[in-house]
Structure 1
Amino acid sequence: RSHALAAGLFALLLGAAAVLSAWWFGGKHEATREYTVVTTKNVTGLSLQGQVRYRGIRVGKVEAITLDPDDLHNILIRITVSKSVPVTHGTTAKIGYQGVTGIAHILLEDTGDDPQPLPGGDGPESRIVMQASLIDQLSDGGSETLAAAREFLVNANKLLDGENRRHFAGVLVNLEATTANANAAVSQLRQLLAQTPASLRLLNATLARAEQAAGKATPLLIEARELVVRLQTVSDRVDHLLGDSSSGGIAALAPRLNQLGSELSANSRQLNRVLRLLEEAPQSLVFGPPKRAPGPGEAGYSAPPAVQGAP
């Protein structure tokens, strides 16, 4: 009888040890909560006992994968998650894939939109809606992307046919010639601008000597000095424009160079008129420019004498 009692006690202890071992190695020793992830997408690669990760950390596993009896379009994924994980109403789920093995896992992330804790359990209040994964997005948009790429290739082939390539070659040749001419013109303009400061300094010195000889600044000298200053200003602006690396090339330079060239040309013509007047009538430096002879119908006009023998 004592032997039977000992045998029974041993059997009870052995059974308790077996249950304890199964509980320990089955991972049930950690306090968990149950949630249901709902998705309408495929769950290829996801299996029972698959990992559940929260921001990359393993926090649980997949317990069951079934179809929703109320809506067969939905797939219900039952997961257990450690109670230490802050699952909230703002928590979302995605399917992630491990390397190139194709093994899938559930990835939980918190958007922070609603920090209220999400209760675990079997009811609909414990459901987490699964978001589309990167593979789902690529799969959904893949057909549209391929169609757009195919249309692009067809249009590219039409654009780059033999006739259009010949047209492009002609345009490039003309553009190269135009650019070469423009660069040559800019080079000549740079050379001219390099000579301008010395010429203007020499002219300023000449005007200063003329003013000293005249004993005062006459209107003609004042006009000449103002024109020299304006020429120097426009010359500096053109030189700065040509040296500006952010100007955008010859095409962008052309309108501004045209405007500054017009100002430079106008000032040069006025200065040339003043200098020609000083050359032809040096006395105008003191007495001012000679008065224009009155024309027919104006006061003081006298007709030229008639030539003898004229009919």
Structure 2
Amino acid sequence: METRAHHVLIGLFTVIAIAAAMLFAFWLGRSGEGEFNRYRVVFKEAVSGLSQGSTVQYSGIRVGEVEELHLDPNDPRRVVAQIRIVATTPIKLDTRAKLSMNGITGTSQIQLSGGTPESQPLVAQNGEPPIIVADPSPIARLLANGEDLMTGVTQALTGINRMLSEDNAERISRTLDNLQQATAMIAEQRDDVREMVHQLALASQQASATLEQTTLLMRNANVLVNDKGRVVLDQAEQTLASLEGSSTRLDGILAANSDSLANGLQGLGELGPAIRELRETLASLRQVSHGLNENPVGYLLGREHAQEFEP
């Protein structure tokens, strides 16, 4: 009888302990609800790797988790993630959200950032959780375009395999052999190549000296032409002026002695000096013209034509 009483007491104590533990867990859960705030993060892209229970971080610090994940009923291209954040976390109107990679595990998480001190807190309206529109994530675009990326990689590998076929490998091998033979021939003739380079250097030096001498000769010729050429032109102008004066005198003599020329020799005697002067002027002009035509440099310099320089 006493044994049965002990079993009843033990059973009753066990039931009371389990009920107390359940009440404590229920109270703990109810009390914890007031320490969190809920928000909705709207993604306009795929959220591969994100699931219920995924981490929510603010500037690298864990502040909450994803409670629910579903498509927007009005726009299936958007994904709505309801998150639970510690109530002490300062979520502002300018707080931004984006999808990020959680280390190297391949899972995704929500990363919150921004929020200036002067911005107003983001609070619920009409009893609905506030909405945070997520920024485009490079990781999401990479995961969404992963198929295209793999297709491009496959095509690139196929092209590389075609380029490295047996025929191309044989051609490359022959090209390398020919290149090695050409290099060996150049190495055997390096003395000739060195001599050729030396000759080219000498020729370049001689060409430079010739160019300098030619430049000096042209400069001297310009100086002579500018100086003595001006003298010759002055003499030619004087000769032409003298010729013009003689012609004027001759016209005057002919006009003044036209009657005497018709009757006797007196007009011819006066005409003789003018004709001689005209002949001397014409002879001098002819000599100048002949000298300029035959040897202009010798005539201007008063010596023979300078020999051309041969390098």
Structure with more helix by fraction = 2
Give the TM-score normalised by the residue count of structure 1.
Answer: 0.45
Give the TM-score normalised by the residue count of structure 2.
Answer: 0.45
Q: Which has the larger radius of gyration?
A: 2
